[in-house]
Amino acid sequence: MTLNTSLATYLRDRRTRLDPAAFGFGGTRRRTPGLRREEVAQRANISPTWYTWLEQGRGGAPSADVLDRIAKGLLLTEPEREHLFMLAFGHPPEVRYRALEGITPRLQRVLDSFEVSPAIVKTALWDVVAWNQAAAAVLTDYGKLPPDQRNILRIVFCTPQVRDMQRDWTSLARSVVGAFRADAVRAGASAEIGRLVEELSARSPEFAAFWQDNDVQVHGEGTKRLQHPTVGLIELEYSGFAVEGRPDLGMIVYSPASRYDVERVRTLIAAAASSEG
């Protein structure tokens, strides 16, 4: 099977899986399931003739812009869009950053399953978009912050009480900047990086200095030590995980290093629950 034939087959398969009524194309009887070719072309804002040729395996591959519009018209998921580009060009699409406001209920249930391990999901810009009860009790109560302030860099560099809890704030802050640089660049968020860096450089001389160092790090595994004002020292071992199908998201789980740390985390969770009750 040639590349053009594989692309054509994939486009036809995706098209026939769509419900015309969901796009306002109902009202007439159809001999075959899914959208018509001209309806996909309309949604992608391209020529119906050109789209028909693609499904027939005729002509060359479309431009990346046209393929992107077809992917949106067919409501392709990110993995499906990547597969479409692989069929057309032999390589994945150019990385592009997209802001995220939330996560799936299933991923939230994964976070909630860590009863005594604080866990969060962050974007490539290190905005926290999801967390569990333990994270709110031990790290930061993100739910009490405005959404645009749930950024790990803003919290680390601009929140005195959080800074005071870190046993080695300088090492933590330097590693956070290095890992942020790698994540944001990988996600293609150059414009968003510029705005955040400008803001933090104006607010924190330490951030400006660390950013100028141009260090790049990986936030994979390590140990976080917090000097909590209520329960004292808490030692947490953290691990970073990728979120399947979303390369711009990462999950970090902080596991108590000992049974004493588990008890301290439980104490903070209970205190938080009591104050809310």
Asked whether the beta carbons of 74 and 14 are under 8 A apart, the reply is: yes
Q: Is the pLDDT confidence value at 223 over 50? A: yes
Please report the pLDDT score of residue 260 as a whole number.
Answer: 97
Task: Answer whether residue 29 shows pLDDT above 80.
Answer: no
pLDDT tier at 23, thresholds 50, 70, 90: confident
Domains of the chain are 3-89 (1.10.260.40), 105-276 (3.30.450.180)
What percent of the chain is predicted at pLDDT more than 70?
A: 92
pLDDT in tens, 118-128: 999 998 889 99
